[in-house]
Structure 1
Amino acid sequence: MPACWVRGTSCGTLRAHSPRPEPRRMSERSESPFDLDALSAWLGQAVTGFAGPITLQKFKGGQSNPTYALDTPNKRYVLRSKPGPVAKLLPSAHAIEREFRVLDALADSEVPVPKVLALCQDEGVIGRMFYLMERVDGRIFWDAALPELDAAARGPIYAAMNDTIAALHRVVPEQIGLADYGAAGNYFERQIHRWSKQYRASETQTIEAMEQLIEWLPGAMPADEEARIVHGDFRIDNLVFHPSEPRVIAVLDWELSTLGHPLADFAYHCLAWFTPPGIMRGIAGLPIANLGLPSLESYIADYCQKTGRQAGIPDLNFYLAYNLFRLAGIAQGIAKRAEQGTASSAKALETGALARPVAELGWRIAQGHMH
């Protein structure tokens, strides 16, 4: 059954889900948090052809930026807003204007993105900033092993996914007006410093592997300063596929996008081959060849061919270890909040407990143990 493109979970590799979570569903609550008359009036002026009346239903789930199905008699849209009330948000948090900007900039590129229609930065309209986009319907695969498909159909899905991330990393930011979309230079240095600091602030126990990574990563950084648009959370369940063809028709969840090293982005995507099914949403330990899934080696070779990397990825262990270090830092932050009682759910405890095994996997890979 086709699924609406909307979802929204940052760093979803670590989310405590079953191997096949339910598709995103709309809330049964009918009341709107917004003044629909004010919203309809603004959209009528800002969006060509927009005409109410409108109905609004929130999509369930853990979106940090609430997302709604907005329907009119003639067309279906998606509205994405900052959470409210605005006064309680940090200035840089929930920057949906950045999401709008990157989606708008990529509209004419090879990267399939939903078409954005209008950004409202006037918080007086509905009490928070929001943007409207067209709605894209297709298939979302929640399990990287693709159990709903035959073996022969799985390879083409992975090939389409590879095509899409390669297309993103071929985009030259300066050519689409995104030269200032992120800080210039020293990407890994800045990221390692940031996540080391955040890890220290949330440390609840000594994790020897994390200590090793914090010491090793700064000295192992590649020398090149390559900069491209990085998605930040590129994985299979953040993609919408054509209803019947092995083709990506929309890339979702650009909340973490910035300018950075494309191989950091690609290596994050490749963690599926190193992490198990279920809570980590990977395919490690599965009979990949029998399932019709590509080997990591062939997947990397395809990406390198599509992005002109004739030398392959010599520092792959660094890029993988860096991403696992970052994910361990995120998990440790969740563990700290669970300990303090600000994130006391069973899922928070389960996700927080991943800090140690994720860091240990990262340190093994850093040492060259890739299998």
Structure 2
Amino acid sequence: MTDLGIPDVDSDALRAWLSDNGISLDDQVTATRIGGGQSNLTYLLADGSGRRYVLRRPPVGHLLASAHDVAREARILSALAPTDVPVPKVYGVCTDEAVAPVPLVVMDFVDGISLEKRENAELLPLPARRNVGTSMMETLAHIHAVDLDATGLTDLASHKPYAQRQLKRWAAQWEHSKTREIPELDSLTRRLAENVPEQHETSLVHGDFHIRNVMVDPQTGDVQAALDWELSTLGDPLADIGSTLAYWPEVGEEIPGRFSAETMEGFPTPADVAADYLRITGRDPEALKYWRTLGLWKVAIIVEGVVRRIQDDPTNRAVVGAPTPELVDRFVDKASKMADEAGLA
């Protein structure tokens, strides 16, 4: 097999592993980096016969503990296969170091469109654009309704209070990956820690549920698959919608260098999305304000981590570009304003 250009992967050994796992590809195989994600690297494997699969591997370079665990992600996807949550089929996890020094996951290519690019978003009729938000919230409600015992996911993570776990994890991530000091972020960490709401339920949470992590039907806008489960855990379901809203920009809040389908004509606003979720689930709108603040704080830390990884190794730069320190500052500022609205002293 011609070298596929996937970092640290022996292409011939990969082809042998694929064959052993029921995936036969002809001699015209190509691997193309897809997705705008700045974390795990995702490749489309395609051959001359039109067969298509997706391969995911951790990013190149130093990895923080517990981050970028593609084998864990594959376990979650496999567990969700018989549920109402739309996910791609997983064919296997390669842990053979003769193929690669890191685990690789191979899964089905989902027939749908990603809304990372303008040309895809423009395919959607106006009613379908509004339906993207509703269908995403229906999907999120299905995720939060997953039976943990039936799916074998009860031991996926701790059942201890989620906010404290998130604060501990992401504060530690910040200390390990920051490129500079941001006093306002440190103040947010304190305010969030001192105002943790009572947790009333524990569910599966996606952890990174936004418009670029779903595949949708180009005619209806219905979600065909929820992708990128590496941050999934067990916790308060309001944390998920809080993160979704943190990623969902208002008109005028577009990130420089990155297309934002959310601000195109016909797509719902953050308020529309929040209203859909609260209507579908009946959960508390006041409690959501805390989780919107934490979501923005967490996104700021995630973006800073991406800045750090790209500084350490430019190979991790996504095809759509790279975030900047100024973007981190924008999320910190927005989180501070949301904390004020939530009454976090």
- Identify which range, 129-138 or 36-45, moves more after superposition: 36-45
* 1:276 match: 253
Match of 1:78 among 8, 29, 54: 54
1:103, CA displacement in angstroms? 0.7
| Structure 2 residue 131 is the aligned partner of structure 1 residue 159 | no
Q: Distance in 1 between matches of 2:53 and 2:306?
A: 33
| Structure 2 residue 142 is the aligned partner of structure 1 residue 142 | no
Q: Helix, strand or coil for the counterpart of 2:194?
A: helix
C-alpha deviations, 1:43-71, integer Å up to 9, x for none?
33322xx3343513131566543333334
Q: Label 1:180 to 1:246 Cα distance change in 2 as closer, same or farther (>3 A).
A: same
Task: Please list, as runs of the form range in 1=range in 2, the aligned pairs for 1:175-324 lying within 5 A after superposition.
Answer: 175-200=150-175, 202=178, 204-207=180-183, 209-271=184-246, 272-273=248-249, 276-279=253-256, 291-309=265-283, 312-324=284-296
1:224, CA displacement in angstroms? 1.3
Gaps of at least 5 residues in structure 2 are: none
Q: Distance in 1 between matches of 2:71 and 2:9?
A: 19
Q: Label 1:313 to 1:81 Cα distance change in 2 as closer, same or farther (>3 A).
A: same
Q: Distance in 2 between matches of 1:259 and 1:356?
A: 29
1:321, CA displacement in angstroms? 0.8
Q: Distance in 1 between matches of 2:25 and 2:65?
A: 33
| Structure 2 residue 99 is the aligned partner of structure 1 residue 108 | no
1:111, CA displacement in angstroms? 1.0
Q: Distance in 2 between matches of 1:334 and 1:57?
A: 23
Q: Distance in 1 between matches of 2:324 and 2:238?
A: 26
* 1:365 match: 338
Q: Label 1:197 to 1:136 Cα distance change in 2 as closer, same or farther (>3 A).
A: closer
Q: Distance in 2 between matches of 1:70 and 1:333?
A: 28
Q: Distance in 2 between matches of 1:261 and 1:51?
A: 42
AA aligned to 2:340 is Q
* 2:71 match: 97
AA aligned to 2:14 is L
Q: Label 1:342 to 1:36 Cα distance change in 2 as closer, same or farther (>3 A).
A: closer
Q: Could you tell me the percent identity over the aligned residues?
A: 33
1:147, CA displacement in angstroms? 5.2
Q: TM-score, normalised by structure 1?
A: 0.74
C-alpha deviations, 1:283-326, integer Å up to 9, x for none?
89x6x9xx3344544433332332243xx322222111111122
The answer to whether the Cα contact below 8 Å between 1:230 and 1:265 also exists between their aligned partners in 2 is: yes
1:191, CA displacement in angstroms? 1.7
Q: Could you say what the CA RMSD is over the residues aligned between the two structures, in angstroms?
A: 3.5
Q: Helix, strand or coil for the counterpart of 1:250?
A: strand
The answer to whether the Cα contact below 8 Å between 2:304 and 2:325 also exists between their aligned partners in 1 is: yes
Aligned length: 328
Match of 2:93 among 119, 128, 153: 119
Gaps of at least 5 residues in structure 1 are: 1-27
The answer to whether the Cα contact below 8 Å between 1:113 and 1:251 also exists between their aligned partners in 2 is: yes
- Identify which range, 183-192 or 274-283, moves more after superposition: 274-283
- Identify which range, 52-61 or 158-167, moves more after superposition: 52-61
1:96, CA displacement in angstroms? 1.1
Q: TM-score, normalised by structure 2?
A: 0.79
Q: Distance in 2 between matches of 1:369 and 1:62?
A: 30
Q: Distance in 2 between matches of 1:267 and 1:281?
A: 21
1:109, CA displacement in angstroms? 1.0
